[in-house]
Amino acid sequence: MYNEQGDFTVQVCFSPLSWPLFDMGNSVVIVADIFRASTAICTAIHHGVAAIIPVETIEESEQWKARGYISAGERDGKTLACADFGNSPFNFMAEHLRGKTIVMNTTNGTRAINMAASKNPLVLVGSFINLSAVCAYALQYKKNIIILCAGWKDRFSMEDTLFAGAAAEEIIKTGKGAYHTVCDSAIASIDLWQMAKHDPVLYIEKAAHRHRLKRLGLDDVIAYSLTLNQVASVPVWNNDRLVDSKAL
């Protein structure tokens, strides 16, 4: 598991707050916001949505909406007044959304994506539902890989960390010896994933955000969001939006 000269590294950044410590530029970055932006984006792209434009402020959502765009968004679990629907992954499966571009209002996820994209050539959206696909896509570039957890308002988040552990493990295993890590946060993520992998839904019972979702009546997405490899799509950052890697 240790890095050796000439190899590529896989690192895990637990929070956007720590990003300046990790960001050397020129890495492949996988952004994860499991509950719920990154799972929703992977779901949307898999179901044929043409692009997701992630925005951070309500004003931005309103401006895009006024220009005729479909708008999704929540604030603290409630659908925004200007939005057509909330950010549950289940909302992005509808037939009438195929080929459409959707504006998605998400605080943690959007900020993380923008931070990653400012210096790095390739920013991907990762979730449990596209785990193997996003790792395989990242590996082909033969660059250092950083998994950036969007977290919860800059705090460490268990579900994003478990994804980071699953992804780091997969990258090291399938990277044919090219990927190693000496990053303590990657090692911790991999070890936490070993404890969780046999029943992630049971394990996440302990986590803070899961309780937040339950309180809000939004916990129907938990099992879906923690089930591995349901889709093969990889959303990739392209200018101001996320599109299917196959569309590039």
Give the interface with a second copy as residue ranges (CB under 8 A). 1-2, 14-15, 17-18, 21, 152-158, 161, 182-185, 187-188, 191-192, 194-195, 206-209, 211
What DSSP element (H or E) covers 115? helix 107-117
Nearer to a second copy, 97 or 207 (CB): 207
Nearer to a second copy, 107 or 185 (CB): 185
Least Å from the CB of residue 207 to a second copy: 5
Nearer to a second copy, 54 or 151 (CB): 151
Least Å from the CB of residue 154 to a second copy: 6
* CA 116 – CA 124 distance, rounded (Å): 10
Q: Edge to edge, what strands does the sheet with 179-180 contain? A: 78-79, 70-75, 101-105, 51-55, 241-244, 235-238, 122-126, 28-32, 145-149, 8-13, 179-180
Least Å from the CB of residue 68 to a second copy: 39
Residue 25 CB neighbour total at 10 angstroms = 8
Nearer to a second copy, 152 or 237 (CB): 152
105 in Cβ contact with 73 (< 8 Å) = yes
Least Å from the CB of residue 73 to a second copy: 24
